[in-house]
Amino acid sequence: MTLTQTAGGLLLPDHDAIGEWRRLRDRLAHADRTASAAALAALAGGIRRTVISTIRTAGLGHTGGDLSVTDILATLYGAVLRIDPARPDWPERDRLILSKGHCSVALYTTLTTCGFFPADRLATFAAPMSPLNGHPSRKAVPGVETSSGPLGHGLPVGVGVAVGLRLRGSPARTVVVLGDGELQEGSNWEAAMTAAHRGLSSLTAVIDRNGLQQGASTGDTNDLEPLADKWRAFGWEVAEVDGHDHLALLDAVTAPRAEPRPRCVIARTVKGRGVSFMEDRVEWHHKVPDAEQTRMALEELR
Amino acid sequence: MIVEETHDCRDAFAAELVRLARHDSRIVAVCNDSVGSSKLAAFAQEFPDRLINVGIAEQDMVGIGAGLANAGLVPFVCGAATFLTARALEQIKADVAYSLANVKLCGMSPGLAYGALGPTHHSTEDLSWLRAIADLPVVVPADPAQTSAAIRWAAETTGPVFLRIGRFPVPDVSPPGGPAFAYGRAVRLREGEDATLVATGTMVSRALQAAVLLAERGVEARVVNVSTISPLDRDEIIAAARQTRAVVTAEEAVPTGGLGAAVAEVVLETRPVPMRLLGPRTFAPTGETAFLLEHFGLTAEGIARSALDVLGLGDGDLAGAGHDG
């Protein structure tokens, strides 16, 4: 491949996709719970299928974590975040920070469902000069609030965003999506203290609690439990939900707060969710499916 | 000998930040329990809501700075240079530089400023570490006028920057009249065609004094103040290499990666001339800052001796020269 045959180029809004996303938001605003659950499930199912095919095409990706965080991202982008995909730098937007940046394919795919950029660009993931790097870059990808990849970075940035928005008098909210393994990084707990000390009631941390990290379970590596008690002890409100139940996630994130405190939603998830041979298997952390596995996965996700 | 009036550049930094904050409500200060050592008391008094003291948590501090920038504010993130840079280096790389966040990192009391508090508190590696990070300007003002001008430039410019704010007292070195600081531009403070003394921060006034000592020996030394270490003013360095016979660099930082290495790279790639790179190359022994600077040869006499040495003139009758570091 010569340097001219690269996957470079700016990512620009996809106005058709934005229209579709806006119609989904309108539907969800008026739908009953059954219909809302069905709409979010359909959105998440589409994201999962695209995640599998994108990783297969690129030969690279964090398949297991992408599938465990998909329902969280689908719920937040589909039903919660006040954003304008045509204006990714709109100052009053809600911010979502994906601290577990290795799950970039799930994030990129979700961003295309909102129309931040066209879905066909996902085929360039990890290709030479593509803006879609293995880990998300703020400079290159509209909708990415901060470059992430090294773990334990998202929550401090989210705390800064929440402090800054409050100083500006903005009602915008900040959501940080973290992996559970990365809670072993001490920087998270520095930020957790600061968030509680400052009463950041516009800040929500959602933990993708799939119980596995790269090499083994979190319990066998450096146990996080009692996790909810830790967050409570740090001064946070805690909700524990099924991280694949869209309505439970929606309720946990949007419930009114009795006190001016940050909220932690521990979303219990399954790594590799939706593909039987990937579920809860540590080797699928960053394993890439072969042709047959891809066919089987897409079949199961149909 | 005339005793010159000297200044702690943190005072100029603090006064300028308050002045700017009065006219720009986006400016906030972030610190790590360093209100006193970052000289932020006046800022805190005038803008109590705009001082975010995170406590002793530098990774948190730099991440929060990136978040504040994301929210549309202009954060000046202040802490002792060694803790700010060493403890939060990955945040500086990923959250600030790679994210192109509009964060102004202010490394206070750098180099050997903490004296007998020891190498744990000295910040002699910061220039090497930060110069290796893309998209992160590294600015080292040499006196109060440069400090104020650099702070104004940082506030007006969108994008990340590291500012190294000195504590060790320095005299005024900026020529009156002209702009005290121009980003990316080195300032030639004295003409000379035998050798060039390239200095930054606290070493600039000492390089000027060294040029006086050299003139007494009949050696005309050019003196260049490099206040932007990254990106380096290549043209001024190339001119020095072409027009003078040798180059000596002096910095209160390890030269293996800092100013010395930066200048040497350009000299090597363009017009190799003999060089001497002055700076601490070992962890410092115990002693106050002035003693440590002398210990490492970072004095007017030490710089002058190195210039004579690199020109092959020996150190002759230069009295009071410092020890080799």
On whether both B42 and B165 belong to a single domain, the answer is yes
Give this prediction's pTM: 0.96
On whether both B17 and B55 belong to a single domain, the answer is yes
Q: What type of residue is B267?
A: V
On whether both B205 and B297 belong to a single domain, the answer is yes
On whether both B146 and B13 belong to a single domain, the answer is yes
Instruction: Enter the tokens of residue A172.
Output: 């915008």
Is the residue at B161 inside a domain? yes
Query: Is the CB of B63 inside 8 Å of chain A's CB atoms?
Result: yes
Query: Is the CB of B117 inside 8 Å of chain A's CB atoms?
Result: no
Instruction: Enter the tokens of residue B263.
Output: 């200048």
Alpha carbons B39 and A247: distance in angstroms, whole number: 50
Is the residue at B3 inside a domain? no
On whether both B164 and B258 belong to a single domain, the answer is no
Q: Is the pLDDT of residue B222 over 90?
A: yes
Q: At which of B171, B195, B224 does a domain end?
A: B171
Query: Is the CB of A157 inside 8 Å of chain B's CB atoms?
Result: yes
pLDDT, residue B21, reads 98
Local structure of residue B8 (DSSP, 8 states): -
pLDDT, residue B49, reads 98
Is the residue at B167 inside a domain? yes
pLDDT, residue B321, reads 44
Is the residue at B322 inside a domain? no
CATH number of the domain bearing residue B292: 3.40.50.920
Q: At which of B171, B205, B227 does a domain end?
A: B171
Q: What is the pLDDT of residues B242-260, one digit of tens each?
A: 999 999 999 999 999 999 9
Is the residue at B323 inside a domain? no
On whether both B118 and B84 belong to a single domain, the answer is yes
* Domain with B198 in it: 186-311
- Residue B247 pairs with which residues in a beta bridge? B196, B275
CATH number of the domain bearing residue B108: 3.40.50.970
Instruction: Enter the tokens of residue B172.
Output: 């005024």
Local confidence pLDDT in tens for the 302 residues of chain A: 444 556 788 999 999 999 999 999 999 999 999 999 999 999 999 999 999 999 999 999 999 999 999 999 999 999 999 999 999 999 999 999 999 999 999 999 999 999 999 999 999 999 999 999 999 999 999 999 999 999 999 999 999 999 999 999 999 999 999 999 999 999 999 999 999 999 999 999 999 999 999 999 999 999 999 999 999 999 999 999 999 999 999 999 999 998 999 999 999 999 999 999 999 999 999 999 999 999 999 999 99
Instruction: Enter the tokens of residue B218.
Output: 């009949």
pLDDT, residue A1, reads 42
Is the residue at B325 inside a domain? no
Q: Is the pLDDT of residue B37 over 70?
A: yes
Is the residue at B14 inside a domain? yes
On whether both B18 and B95 belong to a single domain, the answer is yes
Query: Is the CB of B54 inside 8 Å of chain A's CB atoms?
Result: yes
Q: At which of B146, B171, B196 does a domain end?
A: B171
Q: What is the pLDDT of residues A229-253, one digit of tens each?
A: 999 999 999 999 999 999 999 999 9
DSSP letters, chain A, are --TTS---------HHHHHHHHHHHHHHHH--HHHHHHHHHHHHHHHHHHHHHHHHHHT---HHHHHHHHHHHHHIIIII----TT-TT-TT--EEEES-GGGHHHHHHHHHHHTSS-GGGGGGTTSTT-S--SS--TTTSTT--S---STT-HHHHHHHHHHHHHHTT----EEEEEESGGGGSHHHHHHHHHHHHTT-TTEEEEEEE-SB-SSSBHHHHH---SHHHHHHHTT-EEEEEETT-HHHHHHHHHSPPSSS--EEEEEE--TTTT-TTTTT-GGGGS----HHHHHHHHHHT-
Alpha carbons A166 and A43: distance in angstroms, whole number: 32
Q: Do A163 and B64 touch (CB under 8 A)?
A: yes
Q: What type of residue is A53?
A: S
- Which residue from B minimizes the CA distance to A136? B99
On whether both B244 and B96 belong to a single domain, the answer is no
On whether both B262 and B156 belong to a single domain, the answer is no
Is the residue at B232 inside a domain? yes
Evaluated on CA atoms B233, B236, B240, B241, the torsion sign reads positive
Q: What type of residue is A7?
A: A
Domain tally, chain B: 2
On whether both B217 and B278 belong to a single domain, the answer is yes
> Do B54 and B64 contact (CB within 8 A), yes or no?
yes
Per DSSP, the three-state class of B158 is coil
Q: Do A164 and B95 touch (CB under 8 A)?
A: no
Taking the alpha carbons at both ends of chain A, their separation in whole angstroms is 35
Alpha carbons A113 and A85: distance in angstroms, whole number: 10
pLDDT, residue B325, reads 37
On whether both B156 and B26 belong to a single domain, the answer is yes
For residue A137, the chain B residues in CB contact (below 8 A) are 98-99
Evaluated on CA atoms A250, A255, A261, A265, the torsion sign reads negative
Alpha-carbon distance values, A161 to A179, A227, A283, B51 (Å): 19, 24, 35, 15
On whether both B72 and B151 belong to a single domain, the answer is yes
Between A153, A186, A193, which is nearest B95 by CB? A153
Q: Which residue has the tokens 């006499």?
A: B301
